[in-house]
Amino acid sequence: MKFKVTENENISTVFLNGEIDMDIADNVREVIFPLIDSGKEVHLNMKDVQYMDSSGISVIVESNQRAKEKNTKVELKEVSQPVEKVLAMARKFL
């Protein structure tokens, strides 16, 4: 699966889409982690994500931790309703 990535000065925006599960999570990491490692601020646009499970949450948590180590940050943008529901449930836990 390929994800569109746009660049604007020091911000890279990754447009995630479809269903983010265990099968897709490593593909997402392969796109996001090199951007973080290059020191860029990374925005994850989630408007076209129809489903996300704990594997997707893991990617977000790992991305945040990695960004802190690299003195940059990861932000979620235009979070879809299904993703917001899962994030709300995850916030009770994390």
Partner 1 sequence: MSTESTNQNNLSEKKDFLVRSSSLKDVRNFSREVFEKFKINEDLREELVLAIAEAAQNIVKHAYRDFPDTQDRMAVRISCSDKELEIAFFDKGKPVEKSKVKHRAIDDVKPGGLGTFFIQEIMDSIKFKEGDKPWINNLVLTKKL
Query: Which residue ranges make up the site for partner 1 (CB under 8 A)?
Result: 19, 21-23, 51, 53-55, 57-58, 61-62, 65, 82, 85-86, 89-90, 92-94
Minimum Å gap between C-beta 89 and partner 1 is 6
User: Can you state the angle between helices 54-69 and 81-91, rounded to 10 degrees?
Assistant: 70
Asked whether 34 and 6 are in contact (CB, 8 A), the reply is: no
Please identify, using beta-carbon distances, which residue of 10 and 51 lies nearer to partner 1.
51
Please identify, using beta-carbon distances, which residue of 5 and 73 lies nearer to partner 1.
73
Minimum Å gap between C-beta 53 and partner 1 is 6
Total residues belonging to the chain: 94
Asked whether 19 and 51 are in contact (CB, 8 A), the reply is: yes
